[in-house]
Amino acid sequence: MEELSLLENMAIVLTAALIGGMVARRLKLPVILGYLAGGIAIGPYGLGLVRDLEQIETLATIGVVLLLFTLGIEFSLSAVRKMGKVAILGGIAQILATAALGLMAGWFFHWPLVEAVFFGFLIALSSTMIVIKTLMERGELGSPHGRVMIGILLVQDLSVVPLMVIVPSLDQSGIALLSALGWAALKAVLFLGAMLVLGFWGLPWLLKRLAGARSRELFLLAVVCLGLGAAFGTYHFGLSVVFGAFVAGLLISESEYAHQALADIVPLRDIFATLFFVSLGMLADPDFVMANPALVGWVVVIIIVGKFLICSFIPWLFGYSAKTMLFVGSGLFQIGEFSFILAALALDKGVISDDLYSLTLTSAVITILLTPFGLSLASALYHRLSQGERFSRFFTPRLDPGSVGEEEKLSGHVVICGCGAVGRNLGRILERRNFSRLVIDIDPRVIESLHARGVPAIYGDASNPHILAQAHLERAKVMVVTFADPIATELAVRNALMINPRLDVVARVHGDEQAEVLRGMGVAELVRPEFEAGLEMIRHTLHRFGLTTHEIQYIVNTLRDEGLT
């Protein structure tokens, strides 16, 4: 039946996404790659199972709208401000430098000027989804390179909005292009003004009424109507639908109902976003890759090498260490999911050709696939080079690492390696008890803050032997290693014990294998955060059943001995 064709197509698309996602997950690859592969398989260049591609593209548009809507809700201006210059100025510099790289690549391959410029902006965007997921799996979200990457990614995500406004006008040239861009900017300002008025006066009243009704269905319906309604409004203004969706999300983000709105809409967004990624795969032409392997290879190399150098140079400008440079460059060399959205819109408006679209999509898939391997390679390369005599000094800080004031007088002190949440809390307790301490951290902002308070601190990587040599470990009472990175922890402990074999060490561990290695080195105390959290939950639960403090402590001590032996 004709009226059931949409249902049939959706069933095929979602099934292909499910199978592709499961295969990608089993292979420990990003699920987005599975969605794209599923789309290629069922699309017109594959098995041709989907009969009406326009229906799927319409539903995929809803997915794009919801993606940008939730991006607006999640977007945090305060997070960007906290990162400071390295996020804002560094993010803008990275986008412009990468756009220039794309322009040069377009000149080299003899592409039209508009396509070359637009290709530069496409490759400037990295994948927020892939990078954050990879950092979470590696336990590096709170590391200096993790914070720098997240700050730059936020600025990249924000840049999607003006690009979406500009794209529909790029199919013109000369005076007509300038006129179209000016008119688009004026309409964007007018729409933004109208949305601000609505957001400050109408939106809080509406959300408060709906929350007061205590109906989750009505609240979700209102949130969806706001996102789709704003997108529909910008469409009739002659602008991109995602601009309105992003602005609506941004307004909701400033309200007290933002968390509930995000929690309610994310499952709906994920389903429609899946349709979008599968539809992208349907448009991909495998024959193009087979016919142009050299072009694809060269473009991928240009993207990876060019973005690695640019993204590595940004943190160097702001005083970060060589380790941060290496990891930021290795983590941001891929093309992101919002590049897919921009490329699809540009293809629809005739700004780019089918060949450039296929080239962009292929390059994005390859660079996303290589991202986890890139970070793993960077980690292995860093830890190998930083321990050798020839290269280790390259990884010592460019700033003065020994400007710690009274460090020469330190004796019987605690050396804290890593001043994250654990290190900060330990430092506060030591300060209250008037115990001397020395902090080693690779984040220059942390060191500046500690110096301002008169706390002895060394800027650098605590796994580097040249940095540890300045911490007076021969006179230290104990060294506490708070890293989440197991390799860095192992190297810091090994190098510290080479300086002072009798040093008392307390180290953070995340698994039995790492615990055995560190115990073999002679580490006195091993602390596993997840395990200790479980013990605290056991403690509180048993307390509710009336067990005495001594009974509970005996049980906890027994479990701790069993868990770390």
Q: Does 335 fall in a domain? A: yes
Residue given tokens 């319906």 in the structure block: 221
Per the structure block, which two tokens stand in for 476?
Answer: 């230290």
Count of alpha carbons within 13 Å of 321, Cβ hemisphere only? 29
Residue 564, judged by CB atoms within 10 A of its CB (0-12, 13-18, 19+), counts as middle
Neighbours of 39 (CB within 10 A): 29
**Span 334-361, mean pLDDT?**
81
Per the structure block, which two tokens stand in for 134?
Answer: 């990879």
Residue given tokens 């190297």 in the structure block: 491
Instruction: Give, in degrees to the nearest 5, the angle at Cα 327 between 321 and 332.
Output: 125
pLDDT digits (tens, 9 = 90+) for 63-108: 777 777 777 777 665 666 666 677 778 888 888 899 889 889 888 8
What's the pLDDT score for residue 388? 59
Distance CA 428, CA 416 (A): 12
- Confidence bin at 117 (pLDDT 50/70/90): confident
Percent of the chain past pLDDT 70, that is, above it, reads: 78
133 shares a domain with 236: yes
152 shares a domain with 20: yes
How many domains does the chain divide into? 2
Neighbours of 548 (CB within 10 A): 10
Distance CA 44, CA 342 (A): 22
pLDDT at 51 over 70: no
For residues 324 and 145, is the Cβ–Cβ distance under 8 A? yes
Per the structure block, which two tokens stand in for 249?
Answer: 């999300």
Q: Does 534 fall in a domain? A: no
CATH of the domain at 470: 3.40.50.720
For residues 437 and 455, is the Cβ–Cβ distance under 8 A? yes
pLDDT digits (tens, 9 = 90+) for 253-307: 766 667 777 777 777 777 877 877 787 777 777 788 888 888 888 999 999 999 9
What's the pLDDT score for residue 307? 92
Output the CA torsion 506→507→509→513 (10° steps).
-90
pLDDT at 211 over 50: yes
pLDDT digits (tens, 9 = 90+) for 135-192: 766 667 667 788 788 788 878 877 777 777 676 656 555 555 556 556 556 666 666 6
Per the structure block, which two tokens stand in for 381?
Answer: 């390369």
237 shares a domain with 113: yes
For residues 238 and 168, is the Cβ–Cβ distance under 8 A? yes
Query: Which residue type is seen at 252?
Result: I
pLDDT at 401 over 60: no
Given 358, 383, 408, the domain boundary residue is 383
Q: What is the pTM of this model?
A: 0.68
Q: How far is CA 396 from CA 264, 314, 366, 467, 493, in A?
A: 47, 18, 33, 7, 18
408 shares a domain with 377: no
Per the structure block, which two tokens stand in for 218?
Answer: 């009505």
SS (H, E, C) 169-195: HCCCCHHHHHHHHHHHHHHHHHHHHHH
Query: Which residue type is seen at 191?
Result: F
Q: Does 555 fall in a domain? A: no
Q: Does 489 fall in a domain? A: yes
409 shares a domain with 351: no
Distance CA 493, CA 67 (A): 44
Percent of the chain past pLDDT 90, that is, above it, reads: 4
Distance CA 55, CA 51 (A): 9
Q: Does 561 fall in a domain? A: no
pLDDT at 326 over 60: yes
- Confidence bin at 461 (pLDDT 50/70/90): confident
SS (H, E, C) 432-470: HCCCCEEEEECCHHHHHHHHHCCCCEEECCCCCHHHHCC
Among 289-293, 394-398, 536-540, whose mean pLDDT is lowest?
394-398
Per the structure block, which two tokens stand in for 99?
Answer: 């756009």
188 shares a domain with 120: yes
512 shares a domain with 427: yes
- Confidence bin at 407 (pLDDT 50/70/90): low
160 shares a domain with 275: yes
23 shares a domain with 146: yes
Distance CA 376, CA 373 (A): 5
**Span 381-402, mean pLDDT?**
57
Query: Which residue type is seen at 422?
Result: V
pLDDT at 58 over 80: no
* Structural domain range at position 494: 400-527
Distance CA 277, CA 39 (A): 8
167 shares a domain with 120: yes
pLDDT at 405 over 80: no
What's the pLDDT score for residue 394? 52
Query: Which residue type is seen at 41?
Result: A
Q: Does 446 fall in a domain? A: yes
514 shares a domain with 478: yes
Distance CA 535, CA 5 (A): 55
Beta strands per DSSP E along 7-112:
none
434 shares a domain with 306: no
Residue (of 62, 74, 73) closest to 241 by Cα position: 62
Residue 519, judged by CB atoms within 10 A of its CB (0-12, 13-18, 19+), counts as middle
pLDDT digits (tens, 9 = 90+) for 298-323: 999 999 999 999 998 888 888 777 77
What's the pLDDT score for residue 404? 44
Q: Does 547 fall in a domain? A: no
Q: How far is CA 444 from CA 149, 188, 258, in A?
A: 15, 39, 33
